[in-house]
């Protein structure tokens, strides 16, 4: 079959599965639970922070470095917090270690989207202890795991498929994220880019329902205002949009460096001759040492992010955050303690942009910090769209879409060119798993069975004897590719009555049962394929019925044989996809120019008789 001929294109429309409706209804419950879990986690972090650093009972979210503290407290509090987290992980559940997202991804990839109920309890508590004692982490990672655990537990209590459990797990994770940052669209994008591994109505609709419910509940619990509001509304000009490449490219380099530091620290901890239970305590000691140099680097740091994004941060704070926060975050995260990565990345990216804002043209206070934030999120998380939308929803500076797009995508470009995996996927790869986050059209969805099948296949008559069939139609063993190894059996009118394989025919011959007819040996096919089915549907049918070849029949008349399709023929779609990706060919200009150059030149000579 020619690969260059004109052919109709099949565009697979989304078909809404009726089961989406009840799953979306369950997702509404999960969304409300995710908002409540986020509220309780933030309050628990505030309580522990106040108890440890201010010796008072309050649930207000406050930064540990807001006041001056005894240096011994700054040094020892993170160490003690890391020790408690290590003990909880050792004797409670090892799943509470880490920053939440890789653990959620692993549960989806290998655990059938099943999360143990105790993780839903221990993860937020351990994270609150880690952050409340000065850990430089965010609440979003633990709430992703906690909200995901809520959705997973609900799904496990019901009779649902693994895909439906995944949908509810991701719904809970996105709901928790939306409630934490009041960023619904960014949370949906984060779910798609990092957790769902698909863009289908069956998962997107429930996730959207959960996020919507979560944000509604957040309005009652925490308010509806943006987390870091930017009141100055200025339309950035072409110059600012172009210069956004600077925080974009430097943000990409910073993302690469920070990711490298995280796994450099993790590798160093794995070489220690002590049990991993003690690693978070060592990480906590590093946090305490960093806190002595820059106390504002401790804790979640929402107040510092607010100062950076509104242009109120001084140079000493910017440098302190950029250096100290990056170092203690990567070191402690590599120790395996419990905490999220988004808030630290927000702070580090904002500090980078704010530093560059001292030399770049002034647009409005905090503009370059916003660009740096979007860039570092796009580079560290490998989620450029999430970085853009997060920044917009956190600040409500909607006019800054274009420079944020430039910054985030350029950082993403640099990250994918120079770094093999992100801070999330590297952790997954180190656990022996492979993860791809590239979205593309499945070539199996483009071709139909009728385009690759063997038309007019070799058939056997039901009334002929086994000996006649073997002598008439079976190909020589030295040429197995000349005819298919599957033989449709037809009656006198040509109607399909069954199938036989070459192996079955040879086995019947070995039994030496003379007089048997092909019709007596024939059996019903495990599955039949319709000519208008896509190759993806064919592959699914082959997988479900454990077969590698099947007859192709008319949908309106199942006895009318049209051909035979085999597993090898399905590779045609992959070959075509590979060709389109790698084969370079010029279609314009080249041939007309060559033909014009080779054409004879016609000249005329004037004479006395005329031209």
Confidence of residue 445 (pLDDT cuts 50, 70, 90): confident
| 333 and 196, same domain (yes or no) | no
Q: Is residue 438 part of a domain?
A: no
| 64 and 93, same domain (yes or no) | yes
At 340-397, the pLDDT tens digits run 788 899 999 999 999 999 999 999 999 999 999 999 999 988 889 989 999 999 999 9
At 572-601, the pLDDT tens digits run 877 877 777 777 777 676 555 555 556 555
Confidence of residue 480 (pLDDT cuts 50, 70, 90): very low
Confidence of residue 568 (pLDDT cuts 50, 70, 90): confident
Looking at residue 410, its pLDDT comes to 96
Looking at residue 434, its pLDDT comes to 58
Q: Is residue 602 part of a domain?
A: no
Contacts of 532 (CB under 8 A, 6+ apart): 448, 449, 450, 555
| 373 and 514, same domain (yes or no) | no
Looking at residue 288, its pLDDT comes to 95
Handedness of CA 139, 140, 145, 146 (dihedral sign): positive
Looking at residue 467, its pLDDT comes to 79
Confidence of residue 1 (pLDDT cuts 50, 70, 90): very low
Which segments within 367-495 are labelled E, that is strand?
Answer: 454-455, 460-461, 486-490
Is residue 35 over pLDDT 70? yes
Is residue 473 over pLDDT 60? no
Looking at residue 6, its pLDDT comes to 46
Please state, in angstroms and as integers, the Cα–Cα distance from residue 10 to each residue in 13, 197, 536, following that order: 9, 23, 12
- Residue where a domain stops, chosen among 430, 465, 491: 430
Is residue 119 over pLDDT 70? yes
At 262-295, the pLDDT tens digits run 889 989 999 999 999 999 999 999 999 999 999 9
| 415 and 470, same domain (yes or no) | no
Tokens representing residue 201 in the block: 């109505």
Domain tally, the chain: 3
Most confident by average pLDDT, 176-190, 443-457, 481-495: 176-190
Q: What is the CATH number of the domain that holds 510?
A: 3.10.580.10
Please state, in angstroms and as integers, the Cα–Cα distance from residue 80 to each residue in 7, 343, 451, 567, following that order: 68, 22, 67, 59
- Residue where a domain stops, chosen among 406, 430, 454: 430
| 161 and 280, same domain (yes or no) | no
More confident residue, 249 or 442: 249
Is residue 451 over pLDDT 70? yes
| 325 and 353, same domain (yes or no) | yes
Is residue 183 over pLDDT 90? yes
Looking at residue 16, its pLDDT comes to 59
Q: What is the CATH number of the domain that holds 262?
A: 1.10.3080.10
How high is the mean pLDDT of the chain? Answer: 85
Looking at residue 304, its pLDDT comes to 93
Domain that holds residue 295: 238-430
| 277 and 416, same domain (yes or no) | yes
At 121-142, the pLDDT tens digits run 888 899 899 999 999 988 877 8
Is residue 605 over pLDDT 50? no
- What element of type H or E holds 563? strand 561-566
- Residue where a domain stops, chosen among 398, 430, 462: 430
């Amino acid at each position: 079959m020619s690969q260059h001929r004109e052919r109709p294109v099949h565009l697979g429309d989304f078909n809404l599965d009726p089961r989406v409706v009840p799953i979306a209804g369950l997702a509404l419950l999960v969304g409300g639970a995710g908002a409540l879990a986020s509220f309780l986690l933030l309050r628990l972090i505030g309580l522990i922070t106040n108890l440890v650093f201010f010796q008072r009972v309050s649930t207000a979210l406050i930064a540990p470095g807001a006041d001056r503290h005894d240096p011994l407290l700054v040094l020892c509090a993170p160490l003690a917090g890391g020790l408690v987290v290590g003990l909880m992980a050792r004797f409670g559940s090892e799943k509470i270690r880490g920053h939440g997202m890789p653990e959620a991804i692993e549960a989806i990839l290998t655990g059938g989207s099943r999360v143990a109920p105790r993780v839903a309890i221990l993860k937020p508590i351990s994270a609150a202890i880690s952050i409340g004692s000065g850990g430089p982490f965010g609440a979003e990672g633990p709430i992703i795991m906690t909200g995901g655990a809520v959705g997973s537990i609900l799904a496990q209590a019901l009779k649902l498929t693994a895909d439906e459990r995944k949908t509810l797990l991701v719904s809970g994770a996105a709901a928790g994220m939306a409630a934490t940052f009041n960023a619904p669209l960014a949370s949906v994008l984060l779910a798609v880019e990092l957790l769902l591994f698909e863009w289908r109505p069956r998962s997107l609709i429930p996730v959207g329902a959960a996020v919507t419910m979560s944000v509604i509940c957040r309005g009652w619990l925490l308010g509806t205002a943006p987390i870091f509001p930017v009141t100055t509304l200025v339309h950035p000009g072409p110059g600012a949009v172009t210069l956004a490449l600077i925080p974009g490219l430097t943000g990409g380099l910073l993302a690469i460096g920070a990711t490298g530091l995280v796994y450099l620290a993790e590798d160093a901890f794995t070489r220690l001759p002590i049990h991993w239970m003690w690693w978070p305590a060592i990480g906590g000691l590093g946090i305490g040492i960093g806190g002595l140099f820059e106390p504002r680097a401790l804790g979640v740091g929402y107040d510092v992010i607010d100062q950076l994004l509104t242009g109120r941060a001084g140079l000493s704070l910017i440098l302190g955050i950029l250096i100290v926060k990056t170092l203690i975050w990567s070191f402690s995260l590599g120790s395996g303690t419990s905490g999220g990565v988004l808030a630290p990345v927000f702070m580090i990216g904002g500090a980078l942009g704010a530093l560059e804002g001292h030399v770049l043209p002034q647009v409005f206070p905090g503009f370059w910090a916003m660009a740096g934030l979007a860039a570092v999120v796009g580079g560290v998380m490998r989620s450029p769209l999430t970085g853009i939308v997060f920044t917009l929803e956190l600040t409500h500076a909607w006019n800054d879409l274009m420079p944020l797009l430039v910054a985030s995508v350029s950082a993403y470009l640099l990250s994918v060119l120079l770094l093999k995996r992100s801070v999330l996927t590297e952790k997954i790869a180190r656990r022996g798993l492979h993860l791809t986050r590239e979205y593309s059209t499945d070539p199996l969805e483009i071709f139909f069975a009728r385009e690759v099948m063997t038309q007019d296949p070799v058939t056997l008559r039901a009334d002929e004897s086994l000996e006649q069939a073997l002598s008439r139609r079976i190909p020589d063993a030295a040429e197995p590719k000349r005819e298919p190894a599957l033989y449709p059996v037809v009656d006198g009118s040509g109607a399909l009555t069954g199938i036989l394989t070459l192996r079955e025919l040879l086995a019947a011959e070995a039994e030496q049962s003379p007089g048997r007819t092909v019709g007596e040996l024939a059996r019903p096919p495990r599955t039949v394929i319709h000519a208008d089915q896509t190759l993806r549907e064919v592959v699914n049918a082959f997988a479900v019925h454990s077969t590698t070849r099947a007859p192709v029949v008319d949908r309106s008349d199942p006895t009318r044989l049209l051909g035979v399709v085999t597993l090898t023929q399905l590779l045609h779609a992959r070959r075509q996809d590979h060709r389109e990706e790698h084969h370079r060919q010029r279609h314009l200009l080249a041939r007309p120019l060559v033909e014009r150059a080779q054409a004879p030149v016609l000249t005329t000579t004037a004479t006395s008789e005329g031209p």
